[in-house]
Amino acid sequence: MVILGLNILHDSTATLVIDGKIVASVAEERLTRIKYHCGFPYQSILEVLRIAGISGDQVDRVILTFNSNLERMPRWFADYVVDRSGQFDTANEKDLAFRSRMILDQFTRRLNHEPWDASKQYAIQKYKQALARSGVTRASLEARDHHLCHAASAYYQSGQDRTLIITGDGSGDGQSMAVFIGEGGRLRRIHTVSDLHSLGKFYSGITKYLGFKRNRHEGKITGLAAYGDPDKLRPQLQKIVSLTPDGRNFYSPLAESMPETDVQVINLLHLLRGDYYGRNYSNLQLDFLHELFRYRFEKGLVVGPPHLIGGNTFHREDIAAAAQRLLEDYVVAFVRSFLEETGLRHVVLAGGIFANVKVNQRVAEIEQVESLFIHPNMGDGGTATGAALLGWAETLEANGQVLEPWAIEEVYYGPEYSESDIHRELVKHPFHYRRSADVEAETAQLVADKKIVGRFHGRMEYGPRALGNRSILADPTDQTINHWLNERLNRTEFMPFAPSVLHEAAPRLYKDYSRGEYPSYFMTITFDVEPEWVERAPAVCHVDNTARPQVVRESANPSYYRILKEYEKRTGLPLLVNTSFNMHEEPIVCTPDDALRSLDRGCVDVLSIGPFLVWKEGQDPHPTT
């Protein structure tokens, strides 16, 4: 059985599952070079088919990751997804305004009594035409609930049965959070939270208010929060979203204070849409923040005069800190309430909220939690995998079998390039290069010599984290590196760089490491750092003495593990800086040409690509091994 899971909205992705095995998964952004590509994943479909060595007519089922992709999709949106793939940017406020205007098209059709079935049949026709462009002509076309896809992506790869599964994001099929029990290879939903008061959209609203791009720069807020006082502005932000006394739902005191006519209008928007996929008071939240704080921000920097609340001054860091602390506290209370109800002790997380590594650390620290797993591709890209795995689970169930969860060893599901592929690209560029007799040892020596090394090796990573195969490597002892390397990469970051750490060393470096060991393999959680290592590796420790490591096992990535071992031999340090191989606002490099163009732009000093070392004129590294 060949099943193709597709996310066709933001973070567009294709995942191919053959007889229960994840054969390939590729985000469209890596191929189109459009960050968080939104639209039909034409190139990703072709790429996963190429990796698998099959043709499109061998695909049996195609499963989309939103029910609303078929059931309640307005015609204009189906047209946009298919015909203008990649031209809609969910981080662009003008594009979001466009979406709001296009909803008027939906109103007109509903007022003219066009049935939902007409839109559904139109969407099916458009999607089948799009699939045919990739040679997928024989497969059935289906859709599954968005949060069910999130849950499946995490549960089936968690390695644990009898799990409590929490999904959380901005919005998906009218929900912002959902709770499932995974047991015996099956998923049972026990609770949902409407997206009317979404924690994900609350955090995105803070991101927007501080002058960054919502749906893209939320990670900057997580980093910025460590510099602020979370208690200064907590009461003010609680007016935007609060937790119900039972810890299971959210409400907005701010929205409840709206004029009744405004509430009716917003409810009408949701009703005509057919679900709760709508504004969620985002604009109201921004208006409230502007009125409360009287600040205008651009990229986190204050524009305009300072302001006082209750006689106290405050800063952007305090806003970020209050938002971060509220998010952490709300999620912990939410998870704890269902741990107490179910008695379960194995927790599984998926959805964009759980891209927040500090939230994940707080969940791991809940006393009832015995094990934790966060799906490595926790955002909407991961739902493509969940949809395909759901399809396989359904196939097994129809034959009296179940899909049992398994523990994943690694997530290198993307394309790889042979030595001849790489050499073919090398000769097109005016760089110096040579084939190394021991590329791992030489790469380690280059990092020990304080060079910035771009590493391109093997299959590309699945998900948002660079895990050693498309990574920039650097020395972890330079406490100024976060300033000058981010400047070199044209990044504005408040988080420190992440470390890659030898598996056997991790318990010495991080407190309570065992509670978050599995997530640490995929760089999805933070830990408190032991004081010795705060001093020895300042480049990979935040101001709050936490770090977000990728813990590397030899079995998962032998080549990268060997680089770390060789680096340890030379320096005595079992870790080095690992940051994603890309310039700011660009996707992580995918092809040899992407990597070579990054070298040309000065992104790195030396490129370690396959068995080759590559450098510009006048920068011959001449490492000694």
**The pLDDT value given to residue 68:** 72
Asked whether residue 608 falls in the same domain as residue 493, the answer is yes
Nearest to 173 by CA among 92, 267, 64: 64
Length of the chain as a residue count: 625
CATH of the domain at 55: 3.30.420.40
Within-domain flag for 408: no
Q: Is the residue at 181 inside a domain?
A: yes
Do 248 and 358 lie in one domain? The reply is: yes
Per-residue confidence (pLDDT) for residue 622, from 0 to 100: 66
Contacts of 112-119 with C-beta under 8 Å, sequence gap 24+, read: 116/71, 116/72, 116/274, 119/72, 119/73, 119/74, 119/75, 119/78
Residues 460 and 538 in one domain: yes
The residue among 623, 607, 537 whose CA lies nearest residue 576 is 537
d(CA 510, CA 458): 29
pTM: 0.91
- Residue 175 in any domain: the answer is yes
Tell whether the torsion through CA atoms of 133, 134, 140 and 141 is positive or negative: negative
d(CA 586, CA 490): 10
CB 444 within 8 A of CB 468: no
Is 274 a member of any domain? yes
Query: What does the alpha-carbon distance between residue 178 and residue 187 come to, in Å, rounded to a whole number?
Result: 12
| Number of other CB atoms surrounding residue 70 within 10 Å | 18
> Are residues 154 and 109 part of one domain?
no
Say whether both 161 and 119 belong to one domain.
no
pLDDT of residue 314: 73
**333 found inside a domain:** yes
**DSSP string for 600-611:** HTTS-SEEEETT
Can you tell me the distance from the alpha carbon of 219 to that of 491, in angstroms, rounded to the nearest whole number? Answer: 12
pLDDT of res. 275:
34
- Same-domain status, 276 and 210: yes
Shared domain check, 247 and 296: yes
- Pair 263, 237: CB distance under 8 Å: no
Residue 67 is predicted with a pLDDT of: 85
CA distance 530 to 540: 12
101 domain residue, yes or no: yes
| 187 domain residue, yes or no | yes
Query: How far lies 589's CA from each of 13, 286, 481, 596, in Å?
Result: 16, 35, 22, 9
Q: What is the DSSP letter of 23?
A: E
* CA 198 – CA 215 distance, rounded (Å): 13
Contact 85, 39 (CB under 8 A): yes
Among the three residues 375, 407, 438, which one is the final residue of a domain in this structure?
A: 375
| 250-251/242-243 β-pairing | antiparallel
Residue at which a domain ends, from 398, 431, 450: 398
Q: Do 190 and 306 belong together in one domain?
A: yes
Q: How far apart are CA 572 and CA 469, in angstroms?
A: 23
pLDDT at position 152, please?
99
Nearest to 240 by CA among 212, 278, 202, 210: 202
448 and 364 housed in the same domain: no
Q: In the chain, which stretches have pLDDT less than 70?
A: 69-74, 76-77, 88-118, 255-313, 622-625
CATH number at residue 606: 3.90.870.20
Q: Using CA atoms, how far apart are residues 389 and 370, in angstroms rounded to an integer?
A: 25
If DSSP codes are grouped into helix, strand and coil, which group holds residue 502? strand
Strand partners, 472: 454, 579
Q: How far apart are CA 537 and CA 568, in angstroms?
A: 13
Are 109 and 236 in a shared domain? Answer: no
Q: What is the pLDDT of residue 133?
A: 95
pLDDT of residue 289: 65
Q: Has residue 407 been placed in a domain?
A: no
Domain count, the chain: 3
The range of the structural domain enclosing residue 54 comes to 2-143+381-398
Together in a domain, 124 and 203: no
Quote the pLDDT of residue 264.
45
Tell me the β-bridge partners of 579.
472
Under DSSP, the state recorded for 208 is H
| Whole-number pLDDT of residue 310 | 54
Shared domain check, 241 and 106 = no
